[in-house]
């Protein structure tokens, strides 16, 4: 996008609303990191957040070893590129220890096996011919060829995992490689959820006229599970001020964070905003984002409160954009914002908006390479668009887009997990 296409954010943004960046910064500044720590075995640590930095008690590898199948030898026995013949004095497989290698000798060796004392290089088997106890090959050979030195990956005493790391399979493998059987992690964040609306029916129940199935309940449970949180599911709450306030008080007593969906507008049947103001304090309300303008943050007793809009797409997207980074920061994660890719647009967006918009999109392979296209229906009720899509395109306030323009594309993998 050219600068001529973009108005300033302040001028382009809808009046009376705070920007996406302001809202996110406001919430993150109030995300208090959990202090309770527990020790868990590696088998239970996936997705948890490391509470303390871990250092390695050992070198990895703990010995010089062969990076290839071949023959270990002394590089000094090979002069230039002349043919060489050495006596094969021993055979060393991974997990075995050889004996000291004398001058003029070679050891048949396999990947990962320790180099015998005296050896300092390995010639790969494809370059060798063995005849009886003799192996022949041509030089040159240099000390260190096809050898992994001791400590090549990790040196004892060095930090291998930083505090605040969300543990993926590769972090668990790294911890195992240095002999750590348990890790100190932040306890799971307890998040209470409920949906507001008399029209909501649970899947499996008969669907009366005017009713809808409660999809937000399952969206939120899935999102919280992906973040390693403990869900406290309070189901649906009737559309009354008293019931909503009671549900908020109950949720705040059980959880670190309360997340609701629906009831955040100002209609006669929208009670969440007023209930929060009665039970606690509402600190932020209405953000210049589409979909999802009625987004709220506040506090009820010691719990954080986050109110999401009720349309299912709005619930999903505002969670990804605002709730996910907040919950990660509360668990002590340092880097909490998703990373965008810059991708050519395969669509046109001719009308500049006054709110920052996040449109459902997916990458497609075209004749000119990969580009990103958007779903034809972008309504906040069109949940099928989130299944079709593999990410979101961010369209800033005041922007227009033409095919070929580079746009910020956020894969769902950067916004959900």
The DSSP H or E segment spanning 260 is strand 257-261
For residue 48, the tally of other CB atoms under 10 A from its CB is 22
pLDDT in tens, 306-364: 999 999 999 999 999 999 999 999 999 999 999 999 999 999 999 999 999 999 999 99
Q: Give the Cα separation of 267 and 346 in Å (integer).
A: 39
pLDDT in tens, 41-80: 999 999 999 999 999 999 999 999 999 999 999 999 999 9
Q: Give the Cα separation of 90 and 20 in Å (integer).
A: 68
Q: Give the Cα separation of 343 and 391 in Å (integer).
A: 12
Q: Give the Cα separation of 191 and 305 in Å (integer).
A: 10
Per-residue CA distances from 62 to 66, 111, 116, 154, 155 (Å): 13, 15, 14, 9, 9
Exposure letters 194-209 (e unless 16+ CB within 10 A, then b): bbbbeebbeeeeeeee
Angle between helices 241-254 and 272-279 (to 10 degrees): 60
pLDDT of residue 58: 98
pLDDT in tens, 96-148: 999 999 999 999 999 999 999 999 999 999 999 999 999 999 999 999 999 99
* Rg of the chain over all Cα atoms, to the nearest angstrom: 30
pTM of the model: 0.88
pLDDT in tens, 272-315: 999 999 999 999 999 999 999 899 999 999 999 999 999 999 99
pLDDT in tens, 360-406: 999 999 888 999 999 999 999 999 999 999 999 999 999 999 999 99
DSSP string, 119-155: --EEEEGGG-EEETTEEEEE----TTTTEE-TTSSB-
SS3 19: coil
**Beta pairing, strands 289-290 & 356-366:** parallel
pLDDT of residue 6: 43
């Amino acid at each position: 996008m050219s600068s001529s296409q973009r108005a300033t954010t302040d001028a382009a943004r809808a009046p009376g609303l705070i920007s996406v960046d302001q809202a996110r910064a406001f919430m993150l500044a109030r995300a208090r990191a959990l202090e309770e720590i527990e020790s868990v075995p590696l088998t239970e640590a996936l997705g948890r957040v490391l509470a303390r930095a871990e250092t390695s008690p050992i070198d990895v590898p703990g010995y010089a070893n062969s990076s290839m199948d071949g023959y270990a030898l002394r590089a000094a026995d090979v002069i230039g590129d002349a043919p060489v013949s050495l006596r094969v004095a021993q055979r060393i497989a991974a997990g075995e220890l050889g004996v000291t290698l004398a001058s003029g000798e070679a050891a048949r060796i396999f990947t990962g096996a320790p180099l015998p004392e005296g050896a300092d290089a390995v010639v790969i088997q494809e370059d060798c011919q063995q005849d009886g106890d003799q192996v022949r090959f041509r030089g040159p050979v240099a000390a260190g060829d096809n050898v992994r030195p001791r400590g090549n990956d990790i040196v004892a005493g060095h930090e291998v995992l930083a505090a605040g790391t969300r543990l993926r399979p590769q972090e668990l493998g790294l911890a195992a490689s240095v002999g750590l059987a348990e890790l100190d992690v932040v306890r799971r964040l307890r998040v209470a959820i409920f949906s507001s609306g008399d029209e909501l029916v649970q899947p499996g129940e008969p669907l009366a006229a005017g009713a809808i199935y409660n999809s937000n309940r399952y969206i939120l449970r899935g999102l919280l599970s992906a973040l390693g949180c403990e869900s406290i599911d309070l189901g649906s709450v009737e559309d009354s001020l008293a019931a909503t306030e009671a549900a908020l008080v109950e949720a705040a007593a059980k959880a670190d964070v309360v997340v609701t969906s629906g009831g955040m507008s100002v209609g006669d049947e929208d009670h969440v905003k007023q209930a929060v103001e009665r039970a606690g304090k509402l600190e932020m309300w209405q953000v210049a984002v589409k979909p999802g303008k009625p987004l709220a943050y506040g506090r009820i007793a010691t719990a954080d409160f986050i109110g999401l809009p009720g349309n299912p797409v709005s619930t999903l997207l505002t969670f990804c954009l605002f709730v996910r980074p907040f919950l990660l920061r509360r668990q002590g994660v340092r880097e909490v914002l998703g990373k965008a890719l810059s991708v050519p647009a395969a669509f046109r967006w001719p009308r500049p908006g006054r709110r920052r918009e996040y449109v459902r999109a997916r990458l497609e392979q075209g004749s000119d390479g990969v580009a990103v296209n958007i779903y034809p229906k972008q309504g906040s009720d069109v949940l099928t668009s989130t299944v079709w899509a593999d990410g979101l395109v961010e369209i800033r306030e005041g922007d227009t887009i033409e095919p070929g323009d580079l746009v910020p594309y956020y894969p769902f993998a950067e916004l959900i997990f």
